[in-house]
Amino acid sequence: MADSVIEASGLMKAYGPIQAVNGLDLQVRKGEVFSLLGPNGAGKTTTIEMLEGLRKPDSGEIRILGMNPWKDESRIRRRVGIIPQGFNFVQRITPQEAIRYFATLFGVPERSEELLKLVDLYDMRKTYFTNLSGGQKQKLGLCLALVNDPELLFLDEPTTGLDPQARRNMWDVIRKLKAEGKSILLTTHYLEEAEVLADRVGIVSGGKMIASGTPQEIIDQHGSGRSLFVTGSGEVAEKVRKMTGSRCSFDGRHISVEIRENTDVPMILDLVRESGVEISTLQLREETLEDVFLKMVGSVEE
């Protein structure tokens, strides 16, 4: 495991009666982008904060770049960069001043121009933080995380609140950082973002890592392959369930059936036709990470 930049096992953290993180294991390899997915309140931020050394775990083991984040804090600080969820800064300070301030504190060369241009914030370099838009604030957060040229980045929801264009811009930046050899742990609520950016993803729910691996691995392990999406009725859904033994859901207009055997497809279509429903939609598709995610997270919540 010499090439792991983050290794955590058995992480536990409770806030009073709430068990926010409940025996979570996580490993991030050098040079990879790992994305944590999970519903609100799953424990992602709490986990990241414990990894960053900002919160003390109740129990569990953490190694960050081979060090203990709680004890070797100051050495780790110089080698990691962090955007906290809901990044905030001193209200009446400009992005340029903020970056220069951090550069002085880290004792590194000042490269505010380069960083501001990287995230496309250079035009706003003289605007007070309080007057920046939410997305612009988030971009400054990334600049500050990059001031010390870190080898490991923690990005907690870096694209939340960004417009589609700015999000893609942020993706480009993240890809560029990865190409420079940086390791990145990222949380997001956008599954397509995880699919596009991450080498591996981990699905967190109820404070536990319930699945991890490449998006394809997760789809293969936890998904059911393909599903048929076709116009139908409640009655049809019931019959399909009986006949195939597969999951089948009805949303008021369409039925969605997991397909295990190819021969099920014509049978289902026959059932639909017999019921007299006119087929206006017909789709056979591979399950996406999103389908698997919703299924897994939903089934845990039940």
Partner 1 sequence: MKVKNILADLKVYGKSFARSREGLFFTFVFPIVLIAIFGAIFSGNGGSTVPLYVQNMNGGAPAAQQLLAGLNSTHLVTIHMIPGSVNVTAYVSEHSITAALVIPSNFSSVIGGGGSVYLPFYNNPTVTSSQIAGQAIGAVVQQFNLNISQAHNVIFVRPYANSVVAKGYVDFLIPGLIGFTILTTPMFSVTFIVSSYKKDKIFRQLSLTPLTRGEWLLSKFLWYIIISGLSAALMIGFGVFAFNARVSLDLFLVPFILIGVFMFVSLGTFAGAIAKTEEGAAVIGNIITFPMMFLSGTFFPISIMPNWLQSIAHFLPLYYVIDGLNAVMVYTNYAAAYADMVISFIISAAFFVLAMLTFSWKES
Q: Is 17 in the site for ligand ATP (CB under 6 A)?
A: no
User: Of 35-43, 113-121, 249-257, 283-291, which segment contacts ligand ATP by CB under 6 A?
Assistant: 35-43
Q: Measured from the CB atom, is 31 or 84 closer to ligand ATP?
A: 84
Establish how many alpha carbons lie within 13 A of residue 291's alpha carbon, considering only the half-sphere containing its beta carbon: 20
Residue 77 interacts with partner 1 (CB under 8 A): yes or no? yes
Answer yes or no: are the C-beta atoms of 138 and 158 closer than 8 Å: yes
Residue 160 CA to residue 268 CA, distance in Å, equals 41
Residues 147, 114: contact at Cβ < 8 Å? no
Where is 134: in which H helix or E strand? helix 134-146
Select the residue interacting with Mg ion from 4, 35, 45, 227 (CB under 5 A).
45
Q: Which is nearer to partner 1, 69 or 232 (CB)?
A: 69
- In the complex with partner 1, the residue whose CB is nearer, 103 or 116, is 103
| Identity of the residue, 89 or 190, whose beta carbon is nearer to partner 1 in the bound complex | 89
44 counts as binding ligand ATP under rule CB under 6 A = yes
List 9, 14, 68, 104, residue binding partner 1 (CB under 8 A): 104
Are the CB atoms for 244 and 289 separated by under 8 Å? no
* 88 vs 216, beta carbon nearer partner 1: 88
Question: For ligand ATP, which stretch binds (CB under 6 A), given 13-21, 99-107, 190-198, 282-290?
Answer: 13-21
243 in contact with partner 1 (CB under 8 A): no
One residue of 3, 17, 40, 242 binding ligand ATP per CB under 6 A? 40
Pick 41 or 245: Cβ nearer ligand ATP: 41
Residue 93 token pair: 């300070």
214 touching Mg ion, by CB under 5 A: no
Q: Minimum CB separation from partner 1 for residue 143, in Å?
A: 12
Cα–Cα dist 35/167, whole Å: 16
Q: Which residue has the tokens 């080498």?
A: 199
The string of DSSP codes covering 218-229 is HHHHHS-SEEEE
Beta bridge mates, 153: 81, 184
| Site for ligand ATP contains 148 (CB under 6 A) | no
Distance, in Å, from the CA atom of 238 to the CA atom of 225, rounded to the nearest integer, reads 21
| Residue of 6, 4, 2, 19 whose CA lies nearest to 57 | 19
Interatomic CA distance for residues 157 and 190, integer angstroms: 9
* C-alpha–C-alpha distance, residues 22 and 13, integer Å: 7
Question: Closest distance between ligand ATP and the C-beta of residue 63, in Å?
Answer: 21
- Rule CB under 5 A: is residue 4 a binding residue for Mg ion? no
Is 112 or 187 the residue whose CB approaches ligand ATP more closely? 187
Contact 116, 68 (CB under 8 A): no
**What residues from 141 to 200 belong to the interface with partner 1 (CB under 8 A)?**
144
Q: Which two tokens stand for residue 278?
A: 């006119």
For residue 26 the two structure tokens come to 């996580």
* Total residues interacting with partner 1, rule: CB under 8 A: 28
Residues in contact with ligand ATP by CB under 6 A are 15, 18, 20, 38, 40-46, 85
Contacts with partner 1 by CB under 8 A lie at 49, 52, 54-56, 74, 77-78, 82, 84, 86-93, 97-98, 101-102, 104-107, 128, 144
